[in-house]
A and B are shown apart, each in its own frame.
Chain A
Amino acid sequence: MTQSEDGYINFYDTLGLEPGANPGEVRKTYKKKMKKLVMDIAEAEITESVRNQFLLSMTQLNAAVFILRDKGLTEAYWNEREELINLEKEWSSVPEEDIDQRDRLRQRFDMVVRHFLSHYVEEITLVAGLDKEVAETSNWNQAHARHATRILRHYRHNLYHDILERLPFYEVTTPNIDWDERSTTTSQLIAEGA
């Protein structure tokens, strides 16, 4: 995955398949991976963070099979993802002085990325859990869905944050941070009143 694609969830990567894999391959790989995940869960010592991690993996596998086994859903998902990647490239290439154009692209990008992440990270993963084949393979139930809501929101914001990190600044002028100065300031702030 290239740097500019980080954060745009890639369901082919989730299943370890090449883009364009056929539905048969998708189903087979999904079942294999889900079986391994269920065995891992059975063997692991469950803490809150381990449980959250397992639940996240489960939702991602469920979403991946739900989309990639269906040609129409796959096409829509892949097109939206490509559009987003191109939009980011376009926005990043606009010169800093062209404030109006940057702002237009920023607003459009923000709208598209928020929709993409909430749809493919949250909505689809929860909808996938209602599918008979997915529910049977993963033993997904309502309790999973209840716990997953918060975990998925957290994951979505983390992805958004990862994307944001590499985008041009718009709410703030581009900072020129001297990390050595920051280190000194950090020490001073700790020392004051300690």
Chain B
Amino acid sequence: MAKRTPPEKAVDMDLVARGIAKTVAEGDIVNFRSIFLSYSPARTSSSESLATSKYKHFAAKDGQDQSELFKKALELVQDEAIWKHIIEELSANRPPQLPWELLMELADNAIRLGKFSSAGQAYEQLRMRRKMQEMFLQQGLTHVSENNFSKAVKAFRIGAGLGYDYAAFPEPLPNMPKHATRGLVLHGNYPAQPEDSVALLSEEPHCLAAIQFILDCDEIADSIESIPLEYRNEFLKELVKQSDPEWDQFAERYQSACTMVEDFAKRMRDQHETSAGLANEIEEQQGHKPEAIMSTLLGRTIPEGEWWQYIKELSYTHPAGILFIARQWIGDHEILMPRLRGDSSLPKLLGLTP
């Protein structure tokens, strides 16, 4: 029996245009590409429809179609040459060729909305990612020299966000910060001497380590090092502010943890003088729980949490914070506690000390 060819469905091209415009306006590379896929509902060969609830993510949300970004994207989609190309690609039976104008607009919008990895993928497809990254970093350095740290940090954050990991398996992927993993590596070895901990590095390398840790992009390491020494502290302050909106709360908790450690140290000294049992003293001070210092730093208690669990979570929530703590054995427990260098101006600059 001859195979029956299903009747071709009618596609609402206005819906397609608005769907594409939405993905461009939102800097959404994944859904933008999906509209052109061989099984896309925007093709007549597909049995599915963009009008169904399954594809409601392609429909503009309330009032979104009034936004400037959406209007500009829709205008671009409906440009005669681009629209003709879109229709050709949606009806051709081969891998689609995406219109570069839309991809570029999508990438710019993704940056506007802070979706740097999406922008990176779009620029990469346009083979201009490295050059765009260089441009952002170059402008960042210019703003540093003009003492405009707000713009400088933003430029560096975008530059880092456009990073690509060419060693990713199986294919290169946008570089994502791996603070939780790198935080563990940073504190992987127990400091045999207090000075061995990262928190007690001298001011200059400490500041550089903090900037590199927060931006976490190997590709831009050289650009970070070319930030002049005299501007690095201010740069770090602004970087912490922009990358960690809840830093102030952390700084407050850090100060409380410092007070706990100082009280603890004072009692240990007193205890030494009165020669009473240290275990009793700890119990009196903290209910036999020196982990309270870690909980204070994190802002919550991890049930039966070990120091490394706190490190992982702290690295994720407050990346800069883990550069000012160290591991410490107390009795049978290993905990994290604040550790500061007296001659460094960084803690005060970041609000970690009053």
Chain A interface (Cβ within 8 Å of chain B)? 49, 99-100, 103, 150-151, 153-154, 157-158, 161, 164-165, 169-177, 179, 182-183, 185-187, 189-194
Contact = CB atoms under 8 A, between A and B. Distances in A.
Nearest to B89: A173
B100 A173 contact: yes
A61 B352 CA distance: 51
A176 to B, nearest CB: 8
A183 B98 CA distance: 23
Interface in B61-89: 85
A114 to B, nearest CB: 10
B98 A173 contact: yes
Interface of B is mostly: helix
Given A161-B166, A189-B158, A190-B155, A174 B100 contact: yes
Interface string B142-176: 01000000110011001000000011010010000
A194 B239 CA distance: 12
A172 B135 contact: no
B135 to A, nearest CB: 5
B151 A172 contact: no
A15 B103 CA distance: 43
Nearest to A193: B154
B128 A186 contact: no
A175 B112 contact: no
A190 B128 contact: no
B166 A158 contact: yes
B300 interface: no
Contacts of B85: 173
24 contacts: A103-B94, A157-B167, A161-B172, A164-B127, A169-B100, A170-B97, A171-B125, A172-B98, A172-B99, A172-B103, A173-B85, A173-B97, A173-B100, A176-B100, A177-B128, A186-B136, A189-B158, A190-B139, A190-B155, A191-B151, A193-B154, A194-B150, A194-B151, A194-B154
A157 B172 contact: yes
Nearest to A107: B95
B167 A171 contact: no
A192 B154 CA distance: 10
A34 B305 CA distance: 50
Contacts of A150: 167
A103 B95 contact: yes
B51 interface: no
A175 B85 CA distance: 14
Contacts of B155: 190
A161 B128 CA distance: 11
A150 B111 CA distance: 29
B97 A190 contact: no
Nearest 10 interchain pairs by C-beta? A154-B167, A157-B166, A175-B100, A194-B154, A194-B151, A194-B150, A186-B135, A153-B167, A190-B155, A154-B166
Nearest to A106: B95
B97 A153 contact: no
